[in-house]
């Protein structure tokens, strides 16, 4: 059966809508400047990466080789021990974080999880799913963990193993928790049993290129790190990466004869196209290309911050952030540019596809609507 005329019209319409919506978004951390035409032919195959990427199973329509290369790339970028790393390509940062926490809980079933109030919303759900007791740590004004509150809170519970969920690039302000500081505090309190998972969904893909470096990786003290693949790198399908220590995953691996592999991943069937997409991106960009993308983003973010300041908007950025934070904008701007807004702030995320001329258009809109902002805010408050 063929699509009817009206179904075909729906498709045409959908494409138009998607095209329009993706031309004006500045508020969500998703890159759009990718071209994966060369791997389109692989959509013909029922690829499924079932099982552990490092253990060959019975099902052969898979892309484990590419998946292993993607993991190796990030293991190196995150300075993992070359003899002690493992990982897999997930369906996104949330699954990668769930895995990091799962691994941590299996190692320390009696632990307490600590995470800051700026932590991504999906983490609470993950902790709930895993049924681990947790404590929320205060954030500083810039969104970074309040280390003093962390130290005091751990001190009161030091009889329990500690799992820390650190964030490298918080959702609203792109603040980066300092993993080496967290590690030093745990050492100082003589907490032997601890695990640090670094949620680097947003900033992990460009973390290695920051200058000066900011501490977040395996050598800084992380036990596992997650990133989202569809954010900075860009992908038509949501995807993510989890890198952990192989020695830790070995302690939870169970063999499954039905698939002839180890059941070490969260889901059974696994997307085999996204490892191919990430592999292709890494091969064509290389470390050099990723670094250039970051430098471009940083330059556009600096420009955006400066232009906003020039028209009297109090915009600011965290160190090495490609996210520009400013007081909440009017509803019309928020809707047109799809700006994420929380409490009293909005942000623009200068992903690699964002250009200075796009920022100019945005600044023009901001200039024109400045008077309206106050009214809008009053409106919001009245209806809370």
Ligand X SMILES: *Cc1c(COP(=O)(O)O)cnc(C)c1O
- Residue 228 C-beta: closest distance to ligand X, Å: 3
Fill in the per-residue mask, 230 to 249: x = in contact with ligand X (CB under 6 A), - = not in contact: --------x-x---------
- Residue 65 C-beta: closest distance to ligand X, Å: 24
Number of chain residues interacting with ligand X (CB under 6 A): 16
User: Which is nearer to ligand X, 47 or 89 (by Cβ)?
Assistant: 89
Of residues 113 through 172, those in contact with ligand X by CB under 6 A are 120, 122, 167, 169-171
* Nearest one of 204, 231, 226 to 215, comparing CA atoms: 204
CB of 148 within 8 A of CB of 190? no
User: Which is nearer to ligand X, 120 or 270 (by Cβ)?
Assistant: 120
Beta bridge partners of 123: none
Contact between 199 and ligand X by CB under 6 A: the answer reads: yes
Strands annotated E in the chain: 86-90, 112-116, 134-137, 162-167, 194-199, 224-228, 240-244, 255-256, 261-262, 323-327, 341-342, 345-349
* Nearest one of 327, 306, 325, 328 to 316, comparing CA atoms: 325
Residue number of the CB closest to ligand X reads 93
User: Which is nearer to ligand X, 140 or 332 (by Cβ)?
Assistant: 140
Query: Concatenated DSSP letters for 290-331?
Result: HHHHHHHHHHHHHHHHHHHHHTT---B--TT-SEEEEE---H
Backbone angles phi, psi at 83, to 5 degrees: -100, -5
User: Which is nearer to ligand X, 59 or 74 (by Cβ)?
Assistant: 74
Of residues 61 through 120, those in contact with ligand X by CB under 6 A are 92-94, 97, 120
CB atoms within 10 A of CB 39: 14
CB of 272 within 8 A of CB of 90? no
- Residue 172 C-beta: closest distance to ligand X, Å: 10
User: Which is nearer to ligand X, 68 or 120 (by Cβ)?
Assistant: 120
Beta bridge partners of 137: 116
Fill in the per-residue mask, 29 to 68: x = in contact with ligand X (CB under 6 A), - = not in contact: ----------------------------------------
User: Which is nearer to ligand X, 96 or 329 (by Cβ)?
Assistant: 96
Q: Which residues bind ligand X (CB under 6 A)?
A: 92-94, 97, 120, 122, 167, 169-171, 199, 201-202, 228, 238, 240
């Amino acid at each position: 059966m063929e699509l009817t005329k009206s179904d075909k019209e729906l498709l045409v319409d959908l494409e138009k809508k998607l095209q329009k919506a993706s031309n004006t978004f500045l508020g969500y951390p998703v890159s759009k400047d990718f071209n994966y035409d060369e791997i389109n032919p692989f959509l013909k195959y029922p690829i499924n990466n079932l099982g552990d990427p490092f253990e060959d199973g019975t099902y052969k329509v898979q892309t484990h080789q590419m998946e292993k290369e993607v993991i190796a790339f990030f293991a190196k970028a995150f300075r993992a021990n070359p003899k002690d790393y493992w990982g897999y390509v997930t369906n996104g940062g949330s699954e990668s974080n769930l895995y990091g926490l799962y691994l941590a809980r299996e190692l320390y079933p009696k632990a307490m999880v600590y995470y800051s109030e700026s932590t991504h919303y999906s983490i609470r759900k993950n902790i709930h799913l895993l049924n681990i007791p947790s404590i929320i740590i205060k954030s500083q004004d810039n969104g970074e963990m309040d280390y003093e509150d962390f130290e005091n809170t751990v001190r009161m519970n030091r009889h329990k193993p500690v799992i820390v969920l650190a964030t490298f690039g918080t959702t609203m302000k792109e603040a980066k928790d300092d993993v080496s500081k967290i590690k030093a505090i745990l050492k100082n309190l003589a907490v032997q049993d601890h695990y640090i998972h670094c949620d680097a969904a947003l900033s992990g893909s460009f973390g290695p290129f920051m200058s000066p470096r900011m501490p977040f990786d395996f050598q800084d003290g992380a036990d596992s790190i997650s990133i989202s693949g569809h954010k900075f790198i860009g992908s038509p399908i949501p995807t993510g990466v989890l890198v952990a220590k192989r020695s830790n995953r070995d302690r939870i691996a169970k063999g499954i004869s039905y698939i002839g592999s180890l059941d070490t991943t969260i889901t059974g069937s696994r997307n085999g196209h996204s490892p191919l997409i990430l592999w292709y991106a890494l091969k064509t960009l290389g470390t050099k290309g990723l670094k250039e993308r970051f430098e471009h983003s940083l330059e556009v973010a600096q420009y955006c911050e400066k232009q906003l300041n020039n028209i009297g908007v109090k915009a600011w950025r965290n160190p090495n952030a490609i996210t520009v934070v400013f007081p909440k904008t009017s509803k019309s701007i928020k809707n047109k540019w799809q700006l994420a807004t929380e409490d009293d702030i909005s942000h623009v995320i200068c992903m690699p596809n964002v250009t200075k001329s796009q920022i100019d258009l945005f600044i023009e809109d901001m200039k024109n609507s400045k008077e309206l902002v106050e009214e809008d805010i009053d409106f919001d408050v009245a209806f809370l």
